[in-house]
Structure 1
């Protein structure tokens, strides 16, 4: 891992580009998949596909056996990082545009700052970080209250709540990695968690899948499982090792831009006044809430773990 005070290596920038694209297109593929797959089917499909891709490598390296020794914490990580968020995202995108979904997920650093405060990190109360926290939440209010975002009334409002809950879960999950699974090979943790969540959702997927899947939805689900789950998680853990958990969030603020651009160009999703005003407020607020405006943040204390956003 690079020292926190050093510049970003070429490998770090490459990983940043990969994550910006791969997790930026996730919301597009989810939007397409839920056209003919039920939300539980999408969750089970993408996690089982991801697990099948990684399983041979995890077994061959012995990482799966190492992860099994910590299976309660791996399961806890899977529930908070995958089971809850993946279902919430899939259900929410039945009513919400993919671009708006990507934007609201970018509020993870705001929740991360609140969690850090609850854990005793008083640096969150610095003027710049506190101001960023307030500015980011103001941006969320602008986006949510903007015109044209509720084409399905209460269902759209529920979807926004589901995405914000997803952001909260994404802010919590990395603490499990930092404190309970730091010494477990990442591919073992990822594979075991994906496999457990995929099998857990399989009965619900079979019971709720009533429509005949379309080719377009099936291709989206395949790409979602292989590229946006298996490949993405490997790159995600590599990014954390390369730049550290403090700077990792700064590399994933680009995801909403990718999601909004793709949603507008490929799906014809509207760009509302609320998005145009609230989008920069959220991004600026997230930046200051997570970093205090520092390009090179101080090294974290031994007992502090900065959550990661995607």
Structure 2
């Protein structure tokens, strides 16, 4: 990997471990709806002009039906569910639960007829990942309320299936163009609910406002641009290796900056989840008749 590739890889590994901390800080003072609206509005304001200059809006809008499906699966539903969940769950636990995405994606890809077989190694990875999540929930049950955990489970389903929509139905749409339109649509959807509550955001502390701004600028607009640059530099499969590092960053930030407890469940679950991610997302042999898969969707955590 080139120096540029390594720089992008390190940047993305760190950046997409940060949103859980920022969401946790923000939802302590403003509603989940306002968090999602602010994040998407900022991200769309930065990425839409870029998309227009590059001529990516036309190809995206021509596929508007499938683009709406991607939007719901990747942003509109998951980001509200995440903000809701973090009203109760710690940012550390939320980040680790979202790390189940590779396992759900492998299963979803198999159901959808993806080209890769579930090899024994990948199966072992999925088992390890499930064991890690079981450790997280089973050894720290008081910190894992049922409804928030179910909300995060739905987030993993959305994050895992959205790339299938991009690769199968939107292969000609540039990644940043799809993301910028999705951000704009989600902003419009939440505007009627968020605008009456903006007074709460205005009255929020500087810490909460900084979290919202950083979430929109760094963890959404900048992160999406960098992620697709990373894909161009090292390829889609190697780019997705950042998902191995993001959960660890989320835990370190939650424990170190928010004073969240480093529980026995996290101590045992974290290495199991990370090892499971590595094994479950390893490249397996492809079936000869499988179609080629396009650029994966970015998961803007």
Common fold: TM-score over 0.5 = yes
- Partner residue of 2:208 out of 207, 214, 217: 217
Residue 162 of structure 1 pairs with residue 151 of structure 2: yes
Query: Match of 1:130, SS?
Result: helix
- Partner residue of 2:11 out of 5, 18, 34: 18
- Partner residue of 2:174 out of 185, 192, 209: 185
Superposition pairs for residues 70-109 of structure 1, below 5 Å? Answer: 70-109=63-102
In structure 2, C-alpha distance between the alignment counterparts of 1:59 and 1:304, rounded to whole Å: 28
Further displaced range: 183-192 or 15-24: 183-192
Residue 150 of structure 1 pairs with residue 142 of structure 2: yes
- Partner residue of 1:283 out of 274, 277, 280: 274
Q: TM-score under structure 1 normalisation?
A: 0.87
Distance change (3 Å), C-alpha of 1:109 and 1:135: same
Partner of 1:129: 122
Further displaced range: 207-216 or 226-235: 207-216
Structure 2 regions of 5+ residues with no counterpart? none
Further displaced range: 79-88 or 203-212: 203-212
Further displaced range: 297-306 or 89-98: 297-306
Structure 1 regions of 5+ residues with no counterpart? 1-7
Distance change (3 Å), C-alpha of 1:209 and 1:52: closer
Query: Match of 2:173, SS?
Result: coil
* RMSD value, Cα: 2.3
In structure 2, C-alpha distance between the alignment counterparts of 1:129 and 1:44, rounded to whole Å: 37
Distance change (3 Å), C-alpha of 1:194 and 1:141: same
Partner of 1:4: none
Partner of 2:262: 271
Query: Match of 1:62, SS?
Result: coil
The structural deviation recorded for 1:219 is 1.1
Contact preservation (8 Å) 1:28, 1:259 = yes
In structure 2, C-alpha distance between the alignment counterparts of 1:284 and 1:304, rounded to whole Å: 28
In structure 2, C-alpha distance between the alignment counterparts of 1:244 and 1:169, rounded to whole Å: 23
Further displaced range: 283-292 or 98-107: 283-292
Aligned length: 295
Query: Match of 1:252, SS?
Result: helix
In structure 2, C-alpha distance between the alignment counterparts of 1:177 and 1:237, rounded to whole Å: 13
- Partner residue of 2:220 out of 220, 225, 229: 229
The structural deviation recorded for 1:55 is 2.3
The structural deviation recorded for 1:249 is 2.6
Partner of 1:140: 133
The structural deviation recorded for 1:276 is 0.5
Alignment deviations for residues 129-185 of structure 1 (CA, whole Å, 9 cap, x no partner): 1111112111111111113x524x7xx222122112211211111112212222223
Partner of 1:120: 113
The structural deviation recorded for 1:65 is 3.0
The structural deviation recorded for 1:207 is 4.5
The structural deviation recorded for 1:193 is 1.1
The structural deviation recorded for 1:104 is 1.1
In structure 2, C-alpha distance between the alignment counterparts of 1:219 and 1:9, rounded to whole Å: 33
